[in-house]
Amino acid sequence: MNPARLRTCLCGVPLNTPVLAASGTFAYGVEFRSLVDFTRIGGIIVKGLSREPISGNPPPRLWETASGMMNSVGLQNIGVKAFVRDKLPELQRLPTAVFANVFGHTPEDYCETIRVLEDHAGLAGYELNVSCPNTSQGGIYFSSDPALLAGLTGRIRLIARRPILVKLSPNVARIEPLARAAEEAGADAVSLVNTFIGLAIDARTRKPRIGAGFGGLSGPAIKPIALRMVYEAAQAVKIPVVGLGGIATGEDAAEFLIAGATAVEVGTASFWDPGSVERVGRELDSFLTRENIPTAASLAGTLRMPGRGEP
C-alpha cells in the first residue's frame, strides 16, 4: 500500500487510511490484534458503550439473509467504567485512531458516559449512536426527531473536548433534517447509515428468526440505499460525512467517497472476513493506482449526478 495515497484526516484526527472498523463488528478492537495490522487501517470505532453494563437480547442474535445479515445483539457491553479500566489501556498502545461509540436512553446517560471517557487519554473522538428511544420523552427515538437530536448533541458538545460524530439512522423519511440538526448543534461529523429495521420469519415454526423479534439489516443488500443517503447528507451539511452500509471491497469504499464521504466504515464484512478492514484499504489503494487517482481524498464528492450540471 502507498501510505501517502491513503492518508487522510477526519475532524482534525489523522488517519492512516480512510477505512475504519465499524462499531459493533470489531469488538473492543484489541481482540483483533493477531488478525489485523493496525498501521494499515484508519481506525477503530469500539463496541457501543453505556453508562452501566448491559447483558443484551436473548438468542438467536444473528441471522444470515440474502446478501446481508440481521442482528439484534441488544447493545451488550461491559459498561464505560469497565471499558476504561480493562480495555482502554491496551487500546492506547495501538498505532491507529480509536473512537468510542456511546449510547443511552436519556441525555444524562450519554453525558455521564462521556464524562467518564473525558477523564482518560487514548481516544480520538466519540461516535454517538442515536438509534435509541429516549425513555424520558416517552420512547421517541433521538434519531427520528431533529429537535431531540439537536438537544442531545448540544448537551454533549458542552462537555466533550474531543470530536463528535453523530451516527444517523436510515429509518427516517428524510436524512437531511437530521444531518443539519446535528451540524447546527455542534457535531464535528455525521456517520451513516446504521442498520435498517427488519423481520425474518421461520415459515415452519411461524416465529421470528431473531430472539428479540425485529432486528437490524446490514450488509451488501443495503449498500445502494446507504449510498443514496450518504450523498443526500453530504449535500446538506458542510461537516464531514462518514459512510457505511454494505462495504465489502475497495471499490465499494471508493463509491462512498465519490458520493461525498470523507471516510468509510466496514462492518458486516468483518463477520466473514475478520481482516476485511485492512483488505478494503489495500483494495482501495489498488483501485486508485489502476484509475491513476493521486489520493483517496481527491475522490470525495466527485459524483457526476445527472441534472446537476454534470454530463
Q: Angle CA(42)–CA(236)–CA(108) in degrees, nearest 5?
A: 70
CA distance 26 to 24: 6
Alpha helices in 119-266 (DSSP H): 146-159, 176-184, 223-236, 250-259
210 burial class (0-12, 13-18, 19+ CB within 10 angstroms)? buried
Residue 147 Cα to chain centre, angstroms: 22
Half-sphere exposure of 296 (CA within 13 A, CB side): 36
Matching residue, cell 454534470 = 310
Q: Which residues are catalytic?
A: 132
Beta strands, E only, 87-143: 97-102, 125-129, 133-134, 140-141
